[in-house]
Amino acid sequence: ADMFANEEGGPEPDWVITEREQFSDFRDLNKDGKMDKEEIRHWILPQDYDHALAEARHLIYESDVDKDQKLTKEEVLDNWNMFVGSQATNYGEDLTRNHDEL
């Protein structure tokens, strides 16, 4: 009710329909209409999802202008704000440390 107050007979927004589908298809694993502790754990920390890999792929996809799957110094510098705001670089913290490999 905080995000959407359904008026009687009124249509639901698309995002509500999508969330209902996500809940019934993927979140409510035992189909009891509510999420228990294990279902919440699986949702928040899925075993088959690598957050670091997903973030790295996102950074490369967004910054790799020539789509060669490699980032040049120029591509990184041209998209510095994306890297500074990234979880993969601890929100820019890793970019300010001295690194021998850089």
The answer to whether the predicted template modeling score (pTM) of the entire model surpasses 0.75 is no
* Between 9 and 34, the higher pLDDT residue: 34
What is the per-residue pLDDT across 48-67, written as a single tens digit (0 to 9) for each? 888 788 888 988 999 999 99
d(C-alpha 23, C-alpha 25), whole Å = 6
How large is the average pLDDT for residues 28-34?
95
pLDDT recorded at residue 81: 83
Residue 13 is classified by DSSP as P
Task: Quote the radius of gyration of the chain (alpha carbons, Å).
Answer: 20
pLDDT of 76 higher than 80: yes
CA dihedral 67, 72, 77, 78 (to 10 degrees): -30
The band of 84, judged by pLDDT with boundaries at 50, 70 and 90, is confident
82 burial level (CB within 10 Å; 0-12, 13-18, 19+): middle
